[in-house]
Amino acid sequence: MGIYILKRLILAIPTLLVASVLIFSLVHLAPGGPIRVMLGDYQDPVLIERLRHQLGLDLPLYQQYLRWVGNLLRGDLGFSITVHRGAPVAQLIAQRISVTLELATFSMVIALLIAIPAGIISALRQNRLSDHIARLVALAGVSIPNFFLGILLILIFGVYLRQPWGAGGFVPISRGLGKNLAHLVLPAIALGTAYAAIIMRMMRSAMLDVMGQDYVRTARAMGIAEGNIVRRDIVKNALIPVVTVIGNSIGYLLGGSIVTETVFRMPGVGNLVINGIFRRDFPVIQAVVLFIVVLRIVINLVVDLTYGVLDPRIRYGAAE
């Protein structure tokens, strides 16, 4: 197991290398730059040159890239140019990561609490009314973009119903868990709905697949009660493929949090990267996107390790 994890981590190095090149080139391909933003209407050529030199933007691109990677390896993520001038990016991420993680976790919890039972019921009552309703809702859930759902929720709960927690914003846990969670409910629903829909459909089809398996028939032939069969034969085995989807979709949650945080005015990492993009803050964009890549690699590894818990046929690293 230890060797397996080590192997996976070594394999992550080329992934990160390619990701860093892509991120760097895309950022520098985009028109405009941080200096334009900094100077606003006052675009003095001499000043521009001086700032370019100061920020190292006058160096050839490959040198800029090497410098960035070199700094990264020393643990230096760089400094913000425009969003929070002079602030270390690492510190900016550290301040905001808890908001994003809380939002993503809460969305996932809500999504799983809805999706897993709905998928189970839907499969057990295949082609009956409850199944049709669940599938219809799931279809709608996948189809509605999360920013639209977010705006809709703010409109209903914030504007019409005038709920204090309905208009966005973020309350840190230090000011009370209740308030904190109340403000998270709408963003979590906006972000988690599509996620729930995907998982529910996956759970349903995995259940239907397992229900046709021979070992389910064996259990019935042995006189096992139906509830026990559903729990130990059907759900347990159906969860294996669903965990893959759950894991893969965590990337979707991180991506979706960028939009959701903006709609709900939440001071998270997603919000930071959006501001960075609008204001051409190269170090911020590069560092945050790379950070999200690292997060994803780690999450994928964790997901792969959970298979071993669910499926005894998978054992890592050691031969039988």
Partner 1 sequence: MSEVLLSIENLVTRFYTELGVVRAVDGNSLQLGEQESLGVVGESGSGKTVTALSVMRLIENPGRIEGGRILFRGEDLLRKTERQMRAIRGKDIAMVFQDSLSSLNPTLTIGEQICRVLKFHLGLSHRERWQRAVELLAQVGIPEPERRVKHYPHQFSGGMRQRALIAMAISCSPQLLILDEPTTALDVTIEAQIFELVEGLKQAFGMGTFLITHDLSVVATFCDRVVIMYAGKIVEEAPVTELYDRPLHPYTRGLLGSIPPLEGGKDRLDSIPGEVPDLINLPPGCNFSPRCQQAGERCWREEPPLEAPAPGRRVACWKAGEPDG
Residue ranges that bind partner 1, judged by CB under 8 A: 213-215, 217-225, 228, 232-233, 236-237, 240, 310-313, 320
Cα-based distances in Å from 319 to 310, 313, 315: 18, 12, 8
Report in angstroms how near the CB of residue 320 gets to partner 1 at its nearest.
7
Indicate the residue among 215 and 278 with the shorter CB distance to partner 1: 215
In the complex, the smallest distance separating the C-beta of residue 237 from partner 1, rounded to whole angstroms, is 6
Q: CB 111 → partner 1: shortest distance, Å?
A: 24
Residue 218 Cβ, how far from partner 1 at the closest point, in Å?
Answer: 5
Q: Which is nearer to partner 1, 132 or 236 (CB)?
A: 236
> What's the closest the beta carbon of residue 317 comes to partner 1, in angstroms?
17
Judged by CB, which is closer to partner 1: 299, or 303?
A: 303
Cβ at position 69, least distance to partner 1 in Å: 44
CB closer to partner 1 out of 73 and 221 = 221
Q: Which is nearer to partner 1, 232 or 265 (CB)?
A: 232
Q: How far is the C-alpha of 17 from the C-alpha of 52, rounded, in Å?
A: 26
Tokens of 33: 């730059």
Minimal distance, residue 112 CB to partner 1, in Å: 20
Start-to-end CA span in the chain (Å): 13
- Report how far residue 254's alpha carbon sits from residue 278's, in angstroms, rounded to the nearest whole number: 19
Gap between the Cα atoms of 140 and 199, Å rounded: 14
> Measured from the CB atom, is 41 or 214 closer to partner 1?
214
When the beta carbons of 208 and 299 are compared against partner 1, the nearer one is 208
